[in-house]
Amino acid sequence: MIIKSIKLFNFRNHAKYELICDNNTSLIIGENGSGKTSVLEAIYILTNGKSFRATDPEIIKRDADFYRAELEYINGEINIVTYDGSKKTFLVSNKKTSRLPKKNKYPVILFQPSDLNLISHSPSRRRDYFDRIFSQFDENYSTSLHKYEKALKQRNELLKNPNLTKETVFSWNILLSKYGIDLYNLRQKFIDEINNKLTDVYRSIADNKDEIKIIYKTDITDKDDNKYLKILENNFEKDLYLGHTSFGIHRDDYIFEFNHKPADGSASRGESRSIILALKFIEADLIYQKTNLKPIILLDDVFSELDESRRKCLVKNFKDNQVIITSVENIKAK
């Protein structure tokens, strides 16, 4: 057990709510739209610093002018976040800050029904998914991603001006090149680590001899940031016409292969779900290896999407973690 309790005030449709967590597994039962996912969202904010699905103004309960959430760990540490309609503030160890400090973050594995469709999702959804994973166990990745996205946003804003000159975007080109190569190297490294385990873990779930692999697809062909910079400079006229940056790691994708063919189209529904389960188990293992922390497992209404064998596999693999589950029915009896 890691989390002792979570309290919500004016959070989504909860005027006031408190969950006292069980030692190993906590089950939140409710109809769709009753606010089950909101509890997981609050936990995610207080362990990772931001929501996985919305901006702060969207979280405030209708007709309220603030939200507040409090998370207490079993060691007595309390993290509090408040948003007053314009500013978000964290209160940790009696110190206020605009961001959740790194030392007060705790790794979380979030499993949503939409994750089961990750193979067929858009490239942007897959990028977001892997960015969230990699950021949890590598601070350098999180920092580089934040700086890259900030530079990309600034460059794209400038490209809306038809009178823009190359010199004006040069400094942003340098930042995109530097952090783009950093992210490229880390993404390749982490995908290699996942691929080293993916087939074996998948076979332990599916009990067959299929081979699974994730192909990291990118525009980058060289680790030299000077060449990255040169491409950005050469693409200036094209980007100015398009109004956005057409080259870079923000266009990356992750293609799942099933027996050397794209899984989207060749893997069955059950096989695809086994692939995602395998990925989740590897995610938990990598986080533990790199942080020495057992991640908290948040399962958002996924049991209804899995058959009995995959449910049992999910429970077995996460038996040593604290698990918080949302469901429309009591699944403990299953």
CATH 3.40.50.300 fits 1-106+298-334, yes or no: yes
- The pLDDT of 132-157, averaged and rounded, is 95
In this predicted structure, the answer to whether residue 334 has a pLDDT above a threshold of 60 is no
According to the model, what pLDDT value does residue 108 have? 95
Helix (H, G, I), strand (E, B) or coil at 71: strand
Task: Give ∠ CA 192-217-314 in degrees, rounded to 5.
Answer: 55
| Rounded CA separation 81/96 (Å) | 9
Domain with CATH 3.40.50.300 in the chain: 1-106+298-334
Amino acid at 104: N
- The pLDDT of 127-145, averaged and rounded, is 93
Burial of 138-171, coded b for 16+ CB within 10 Å and e otherwise, reads beebbebbebbeebbeebbeebeeeeeeeeebee
Helix (H, G, I), strand (E, B) or coil at 169: helix
| Rounded CA separation 32/163 (Å) | 51
CB 10 within 8 A of CB 67: yes
In this predicted structure, the answer to whether residue 168 has a pLDDT above a threshold of 60 is yes
pLDDT class for 332, splitting at 50, 70, 90? low
CATH class for the region spanning 113-294 = mainly alpha
Among 21-25, 36-40, 210-214, 228-232, the least confident range = 21-25
According to the model, what pLDDT value does residue 72 have? 96
Mean pLDDT (the chain, rounded): 93
Helix (H, G, I), strand (E, B) or coil at 296: strand
pLDDT class for 93, splitting at 50, 70, 90? confident
Domain with CATH 1.20.1050.90 in the chain: 113-294
Residue bearing the bigger pLDDT, 113 or 90: 90
**Pairing relation of β-strands 323-327 and 296-300?**
parallel
pLDDT, one tens digit per residue, over 274-317 is 999 999 999 999 999 999 999 999 999 998 888 889 989 998 99
pLDDT, one tens digit per residue, over 22-45 is 878 999 998 888 899 999 999 999
> CA torsion sign, 250 to 275 to 324 to 105?
negative
In this predicted structure, the answer to whether residue 272 has a pLDDT above a threshold of 60 is yes
